[in-house]
Amino acid sequence: MTTPTALEPGLRERKKRQTRDRLVEAAFALFAERGFDHVSAAEIAARADVSERTFFRYFPTKEDVIFPDTEEMRGRVDELVANLPTDLSVIEGLRRALQTISHEFEDSKELQLARARLVEATPSLQTLVLQHEEKWVESFADAIAARLGLDPDEDLRPELTAAVVVAAFRAVMNRWIRSGGEADIDQMLDQALVFLGSGLGSSDLD
Amino acid sequence: MTTPTALEPGLRERKKRQTRDRLVEAAFALFAERGFDHVSAAEIAARADVSERTFFRYFPTKEDVIFPDTEEMRGRVDELVANLPTDLSVIEGLRRALQTISHEFEDSKELQLARARLVEATPSLQTLVLQHEEKWVESFADAIAARLGLDPDEDLRPELTAAVVVAAFRAVMNRWIRSGGEADIDQMLDQALVFLGSGLGSSDLD
DNA sequence: TGACAATTGACAGTGGGTGTCAAACGACTA
DNA sequence: TAGTCGTTTGACACCCACTGTCAATTGTCA
């Protein structure tokens, strides 16, 4: 009679985790060598010592192996944003949520940059990034509408604000990636959100 | 000796055009009947009376047959935005460009709505829409930077403004589609851009 | 240890997409 | 009007992403 639940996942769970990790590792290594399009799922599987069929049991598509942690991330983002604090403005609440996320990016800088290089060179991967962002927009829009008590079917602004804030986040992250992880995310994010908050035509833009 | 250039395309060009049109028509008909994923390229080709191979000579992927006119559209958008008038604010210039585009949508309402229904039900098509928008963002960012004489590598704002404006356009178009083409695009676009222009935290949002 | 459930490998099949080559066809010329 | 040239097309073979199925393996729990 070993540990009953949750703690110490058990051999079966650990093996699954290992297989998954080996697949991700093999995929990144091969992609880095030859590029996404010149590596087949069968090769990744072979390098990880499992059958091709098993690869597709772990990842629905070849693209997905590049984003092994995105589902968890999404869960955390959802949680972070679902209950925006009422003692802060919406923008300020979103800014803090985005900062939490961007710090995670900085913590796994090498992975993020390797991924970014692959994505840049591979259209079908860019697609996935955009789809993930779409989901963020939905989460953000729901959160904003809830926080402000607006009906998202009536009022354009929750969706609009969400789309705009996520677009700003993307612009900042793109710049961070182009800087090789050197740029200061927090500062750029602040700048961007201040700019948005004060109006696009403001400052010396015109 | 017939007409030399450009006018009266000649039989060969006309046949190509016809084949292309037949493929698009066949594809939309079959997709409407059974959904994108349950129609093979071979079936589309058969219905248009050409070989499967020929289908792929006209469209690089099965997805692309849904967006037969998007390349032209992109050309026009580029042109529209490349030289933003200097006697208007950037936002106002972009607003007019977007209105021109949205009017094209209204003019081909049925096509757009049919397409929207397919896209909504088919993730691999959503992908394409997002990619097209990415290209718009690039065009817009370049145009804004040029209009304001800013260095897009130094200043975040051109890219940010572009991303944000395109995001707003998408939000408006989504709403238009959800309204079944009934909503007033111009009005929504005005509202959205006024909102953006005056700052996200403005009005009674907080 | 033995029964049960989850994981895996092997195999066969569908469908998207590409390379190649020869046949068919439109365009132009003598 | 026939003949030549370049383009378009169909046929065939092929690769790879992805799925359904089923039997064999392996972890779990009693």
- Residue corresponding to tokens 């088919």: B122
Token pair 């589309």 is found at B44
Question: pLDDT digits over A74-87, tens only?
Answer: 899 899 999 899 99
Residue linked to tokens 């500062």? A187
CB nearest B131 (choices: A126, A134, A206): A126
Structure confidence by residue, pLDDT tens digits, A111-153:
899 999 999 889 889 888 988 898 999 999 999 999 999 998 8
Closest C-alpha among A12, A138, A142, A130 to residue A67:
A130
Is residue A45 within 8 A of residue A62, CB to CB? The reply is no
* pLDDT, tens digit, 9 for 90 and up, residues A19-34: 999 999 999 999 999 9
Amino acid at A118: L
Q: How do residues A35-58 score in pLDDT, each as one tens digit?
A: 999 999 999 999 999 999 999 999
B92, B160, B175, B193: best to mutate for the A interface, most A CBs within 10 A:
B160
How far apart CA A34 and CA A28 sit, in angstroms, is: 10
- Rounded to whole angstroms, the Cα distance separating A192 from A93 reads 15
Instruction: Return the residue matching tokens 């585009």.
Output: B101
H helices, E strands: number in chain A: 9, 0
- Residue where the block lists tokens 């250039």: B5
Please tell me the predicted confidence (pLDDT) of residue A71.
85
Sole residue written with tokens 């803090």: A96
Please report, rounded to whole angstroms, the spatial distance between the CA atom of protein residue B179 and the C1' atom of nucleotide C11: 49
A70-82 vs A90-107: helix axis angle to the nearest 10? 150
Burial pattern A31-55, b for ≥16 Cβ within 10 A else e, equals: beeeebeebebebbbebbebeeeeb
- What percent of chain A has a predicted confidence (pLDDT) above 70? 93
Return the pLDDT at B8.
Answer: 55
Look up residue A22 and give its two tokens. Answer: 């080996």
Residue closest to A27 by CA, chosen among A73, A72, A71, A58: A58
Indicate if CB(A57) is under 7 A from strand D: no
What pTM was computed for the model? 0.85
Stronger pLDDT, B39 or B121, i.e. the higher one: B39
Find chain A residues with C-beta within 8 A of B206's C-beta. 89-90, 148
- The angle subtended at Cα A144 by Cα A116 and Cα A81, nearest 5°, is 50
| Residue A1 C-alpha, separation from nearest chain B C-alpha, in angstroms | 46
| C-alpha B164, offset from chain centre | 17
Please check the confidence at residue B142 and state whether its pLDDT lies above 90.
Answer: yes
> Taken in order A57, A63, A64, A67, is the CA torsion positive or negative?
positive
C1' of C19 to CA of B56 (Å)? 13
Q: Which residue of A has its CA nearest to B163?
A: A167
B97 token code pair: 């460009």
Q: How many CB atoms lie within 10 A of CB B3?
A: 9
Q: Measured between alpha carbons, how far is A97 from A90 in angstroms, rounded to an integer?
A: 11
Q: Which amino acid is present at B13?
A: E
Alpha helices for chain B (secondary structure H): 11-34, 41-47, 52-58, 70-82, 90-107, 109-121, 123-148, 157-178, 185-198
Query: Do residues A77 and A139 lie in contact, with contact meaning Cβ atoms separated by under 8 Å?
Result: yes
* CA A34/CA B72 separation, integer angstroms: 34
> Distance between CA B81 and CA A52 in Å, rounded?
48
H/E stretch holding B59 reads none
Please say whether the beta carbons of A130 and B127 come within 8 A: yes
Weakest-pLDDT range from A62-66, B5-9, B190-194 = B5-9
Kindly report which amino acid residue has its CA closest to the C1' atom of nucleotide C26: B12
CA dist A124 and A119 (Å) reads 8
- B206/A89 Cβ within 8 A: yes
Indicate the helix (H) or strand (E) that contains A108. none
